[in-house]
Amino acid sequence: MRTEFMAAMNQVASERGIDVNIILDALQHALVAAYKRDYGETEDEIWADIDPDTGEVRIMQDQKDVTPAGFGRIAAQTAKQVILQRIREAEKEAIMSDYEKKVGTVISSMVQRKEGPNWILDIGRTIGIMPPQEQVYGEHYRLNQRLKVYVSEIKEGPRGQEIILSRSHPNLLAALFELEVPEVASGSVEIKGIAREAGFRSKVAVMSNQDGVDPVGSCVGQKGVRVQAITNELNGEKLDLILWSPDIERYIVASLSPAKAIDIEVNTEEKTAKVTVLDDQLSLAIGKEGQNVRLAAKLTGYRIDIVGETESSNPVASSDGETVSADLVDAESTEVQEGENEAKVEVVESEEIAETVESQKEAGEPEEVEEVKAESEKEDKASEEEAEKVAEEVEASTEAAEEKPKKATKKKAEK
């Protein structure tokens, strides 16, 4: 081999971003493999010695040079294939080592293609995979679309190590705030908690580590430019910025924003809270399908029950979705009881009339008895019709009262 050998090795190593010693090691193994293939196996150990200055190759056996004439030409093709393979492996290991340092950060990517349910994204020196569970419901990706993604992990897959990317991870939100808000990146403002339902709404609790710095205002930015940039990156996902507080009562009240609480009872041992709000703010505190109170519970770690001002004894919503409005069930039960009482009254009146008719018969007043009997029969008939009608209403009310909890249970199961 010529003296330009090492220059070529250094150039390849520099272009591929790998250590030159790795290439030399691959070349040594390739030369030994080529020698054994052409000249047979031996019991003695054989190794290849490469002069790093001149690039001269020698096959050594028992400290003796056994390099055959023309060995470089014979082994060149085999050595080339092995070297290329080892270079590719070393290059991939270097890339993975580089991206292992980026786990937990946000990087830019471009949508390349779709393979089954997975999206393949170009992230520069290699590609990453975004599986279905890391995608955002409602987002539609297109080829060559640029996305900011969160590097979730690197794990073994059917094709070796794979870089898993995410658009739904809560830490994506934290990393975006670090990119957009200098105070968060410097540590002046700290993100204390994130509750996220990707694609719909998120709550972010922030606090200040420096006097004179407004944490919420810093994240919002002048005229909302900072938070708007994050919202645009997340395709319109709504963001609620909450001021974190060490006082759990104030923290829970703030987490239910934009609803205003007028009273709160906290049980720190069971980690539960009962929050009273104005009746006209019940729907605002609960949120669409319980989303607001559910996110507040995730953010604070407490089970939160929401009650109205005039219904403080009975919770109308809970963060776990198990509470059914008790007022409606009580009203229906009252209607059922009233209907049963009315039916009992009608039956008693009919029995009293029948007793009157029998007593008049015994007294010997046939004409009056017949009139009373005819009148009694009419009243009995009307009473029976009325009693049947009441019974039907009672049965319908009972079925409605029984059906209400079943619907609530079914709704919980669907969630």
The CA-atom distances, in angstroms, between 148 and each of 154, 234, 236 are 17, 9, 15
Q: What is the pLDDT of residue 375?
A: 56
Strand ranges (E), 56-124: 57-61, 64-65, 106-115, 118-122
Q: How far apart are CA 173 and CA 231, in angstroms?
A: 10
Identify whether residues 123 and 84 lie together within a single domain: no
Domain presence at residue 213: no
Which tens digit of pLDDT belongs to each residue from 207-264?
Answer: 999 999 999 999 999 999 999 999 999 999 999 999 999 999 999 999 998 888 889 9
Identify whether residues 315 and 264 lie together within a single domain: yes
How does residue 65 score in pLDDT terms, banded at 50, 70 and 90? Answer: confident
Distance between first and last Cα of the chain: 71
Domain presence at residue 221: no
Q: How far apart are CA 79 and CA 210, in angstroms?
A: 62
| Amino acid, single-letter form, for residue 314 | N
Q: What is the CATH number of the domain that holds 128?
A: 2.40.50.140
Which tens digit of pLDDT belongs to each residue from 296-314?
Answer: 999 999 999 999 888 655 5
Which tens digit of pLDDT belongs to each residue from 154-170?
Answer: 988 887 889 999 999 99
Lowest-confidence region among 186-195, 278-287, 394-403:
394-403
Identify the residue with better confidence: 404 or 186: 186
Q: What is the pLDDT of residue 57?
A: 78
Phi, psi of 270 (to 5 degrees): -90, -5
- Total domain count for the chain? 4
Q: Which domain holds residue 396?
A: 329-414
Cβ 257 vs Cβ 242: under 8 Å: yes
Q: What is the pLDDT of residue 313?
A: 52
Domain presence at residue 277: yes
Q: What is the CATH number of the domain that holds 36?
A: 3.30.1480.10
Domain presence at residue 194: no
Domain presence at residue 369: yes
Mark which of 75, 100, 125 sits at the end of a domain: 100
Domain presence at residue 236: no
pLDDT at 45 over 70: yes
Identify whether residues 92 and 23 lie together within a single domain: yes
Identify whether residues 20 and 90 lie together within a single domain: yes
How does residue 399 score in pLDDT terms, banded at 50, 70 and 90? Answer: low
Q: SS3 helix, strand, coil % of the chain, rounded to 5?
A: 55, 25, 25
pTM: 0.61
Cβ 122 vs Cβ 131: under 8 Å: no
Mark which of 168, 190, 210 sits at the end of a domain: 168
Q: What is the CATH number of the domain that holds 314?
A: 3.30.300.20
Cβ neighbours of residue 64 under 8 Å, at least 6 residues apart? none
Q: How far apart are CA 289 and CA 353, in angstroms?
A: 56
Which tens digit of pLDDT belongs to each residue from 91-130?
Answer: 888 888 889 999 999 999 999 999 999 999 999 889 999 9
Identify whether residues 366 and 299 lie together within a single domain: no
pLDDT at 326 over 60: no
Q: What is the pLDDT of residue 239?
A: 93
Cβ 134 vs Cβ 166: under 8 Å: yes
Domain presence at residue 226: no
Q: How far apart are CA 357 and CA 376, in angstroms?
A: 8
Q: How far apart are CA 215 and CA 409, in angstroms?
A: 41
